[in-house]
């Protein structure tokens, strides 16, 4: 989804913390509905949420419960550091037309844009998966894991070459999905479940397409664990090679991942 409205923050006094799309295309009340519900200041503007020490302060009516932690983590990730405020008024820009909002520009946009798929929150934040794997999966879907291409974006001077195949630049999608090393792992799993499909170009698309339809109850539980577990195994192998100079072949990784699904992988209903 592109940002239809862009807000330039200056004083922060005209921008609603929860209701305006100032940090992402989606207002924060939709990003974190559970946090919005327990926030004591739902109508506040940005200045109400920034302390004198230039830190965020979100007043909550009670302590966070475990299911809400992922939402507060997402809010803190999206809002990043508090903006530096000035005396000028905040400005709103309509990104489809430089002259400002028009019904025609919105109609043209909606006519030509396929609807976005849902963000795969339930697949990522699965209570049966250790939190560090969920967090890594979430970061990968956001395309933010510390692959060499992302380190370069942060200003590091590096030669970018995939640690697993040495044949392509390392990006999240290449490392976790399309590297021929990783493909061998996926190719060993998917046919066992009757799956055969071409790989999407991003981890987000991959996660959005990971459907558990047609599986038995137990099969669904297992199927939903696979992306996070495989991504984590590939990431650990990548780090072993990057930082310890050690390498394991895919057969070893497949065996480790296979232990969890042995005897369970044929749960799919016909
Ligand atoms: Zn590779």
Residue 261 in domain:
no
Distance 183 CA to ligand 1 centre (A): 9
Q: Of residues 245 and 87, which shows the higher confidence score? A: 87
Q: How far, in Å, CA of 111 to CA of 109, rounded?
A: 6
Confidence tier at 73 by pLDDT (50, 70, 90): confident
Residue 265 in domain:
no
What are residue 268's DSSP bridge partners? 215
Per-residue model confidence (pLDDT) at position 22? 87
Q: How far, in Å, CA of 42 to CA of 19, rounded?
A: 9
- 149 and 193 together in one domain: yes
Per-residue model confidence (pLDDT) at position 188? 84
Distances (CA, A) of 111 to 96, 106, 202: 13, 9, 25
Confidence tier at 192 by pLDDT (50, 70, 90): low
- 125 and 70 together in one domain: no
Per-residue model confidence (pLDDT) at position 110? 59
- Give the count of domains, the chain: 2
Q: Domain range spanning residue 45?
A: 5-112
Distance 204 CA to ligand 1 centre (A): 19
Distance 249 CA to ligand 1 centre (A): 13
Distance 151 CA to ligand 1 centre (A): 16
- 176 and 77 together in one domain: no
* pLDDT over 70 percentage in the chain: 77
Domain boundary among 82, 112, 142: 112
Residue 162 in domain:
yes
Per-residue model confidence (pLDDT) at position 195? 59
**Nearest one of 229, 236, 216 to 257, comparing CA atoms:** 229
| pLDDT tens-digit series, residues 127-177 | 999 999 999 999 999 999 999 999 998 888 888 999 999 999 999 999 999
Asked whether the predicted pLDDT for residue 266 surpasses 50, the reply is: no
Residue 67 in domain:
yes
Per-residue model confidence (pLDDT) at position 200? 74
Distance 237 CA to ligand 1 centre (A): 12
- 236 and 127 together in one domain: yes
Distance 238 CA to ligand 1 centre (A): 10
94, 4 in Cβ contact below 8 A? yes
DSSP structural state of residue 264: T
Q: What are residue 239's phi and psi, to 5 degrees? A: -70, -35
Asked whether the predicted pLDDT for residue 269 surpasses 60, the reply is: no
Residue 270 in domain:
no
Query: What is the pLDDT averaged over residues 84-109?
Result: 72
Distance 253 CA to ligand 1 centre (A): 16
Query: What is the pLDDT averaged over residues 239-246?
Result: 87
Asked whether the predicted pLDDT for residue 112 surpasses 60, the reply is: no
Per-residue model confidence (pLDDT) at position 267? 40
| pLDDT tens-digit series, residues 9-22 | 899 998 999 998 88
Query: What is the pLDDT averaged over residues 189-200?
Result: 64
Residue 269 in domain:
no
| pLDDT tens-digit series, residues 203-223 | 998 998 888 777 788 888 899
Distance 70 CA to ligand 1 centre (A): 30
86, 11 in Cβ contact below 8 A? yes
**Nearest one of 148, 139, 147, 133 to 227, comparing CA atoms:** 133
Most confident of 49-58, 72-81, 117-126: 49-58
3-state secondary structure of 136: helix
Distance 233 CA to ligand 1 centre (A): 15
- 205 and 143 together in one domain: yes
Would the pTM of this model clear 0.85, i.e. be above it? no
Query: What is the pLDDT averaged over residues 242-257?
Result: 67
- 78 and 30 together in one domain: yes
């Amino acid at each position: 989804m592109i940002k239809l409205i862009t807000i330039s923050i200056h004083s922060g006094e005209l921008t609603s913390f929860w209701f305006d799309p100032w940090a992402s295309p989606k207002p924060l009340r939709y990003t974190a509905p559970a946090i919005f519900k327990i926030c004591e200041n739902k109508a506040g503007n940005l200045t109400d949420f920034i302390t004198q020490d230039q830190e965020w302060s979100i007043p909550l009516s009670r302590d966070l419960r475990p299911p809400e932690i992922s939402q507060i983590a997402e809010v803190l990730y999206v809002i990043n550091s508090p903006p530096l405020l000035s005396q000028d008024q905040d400005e709103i820009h309509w990104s489809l037309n430089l002259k400002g909002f028009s019904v025609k520009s919105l109609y043209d946009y909606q006519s030509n844009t396929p609807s976005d798929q849902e963000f795969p929150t339930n697949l990522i934040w699965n209570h049966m998966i250790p939190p560090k794997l969920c967090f890594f999966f979430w970061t990968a879907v956001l395309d933010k894991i510390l692959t060499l291409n992302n380190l370069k974006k942060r200003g590091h001077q590096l030669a970018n070459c995939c640690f697993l195949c040495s044949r392509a630049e390392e990006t999240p999608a290449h490392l976790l999905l399309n590297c021929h090393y990783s493909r061998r792992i996926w190719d060993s799993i998917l046919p066992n479940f009757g799956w055969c499909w071409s790989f999407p170009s991003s981890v987000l698309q991959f996660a959005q397409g990971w459907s558990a339809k047609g599986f038995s109850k137990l099969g669904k539980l297992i199927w939903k664990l696979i992306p996070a577990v495989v991504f984590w195994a590939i990431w650990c192998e990548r780090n072993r090679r990057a930082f310890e100079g050690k390498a394991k072949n895919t057969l070893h990784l497949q065996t480790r991942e296979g232990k969890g699904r042995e005897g369970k992988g044929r749960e799919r209903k016909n």
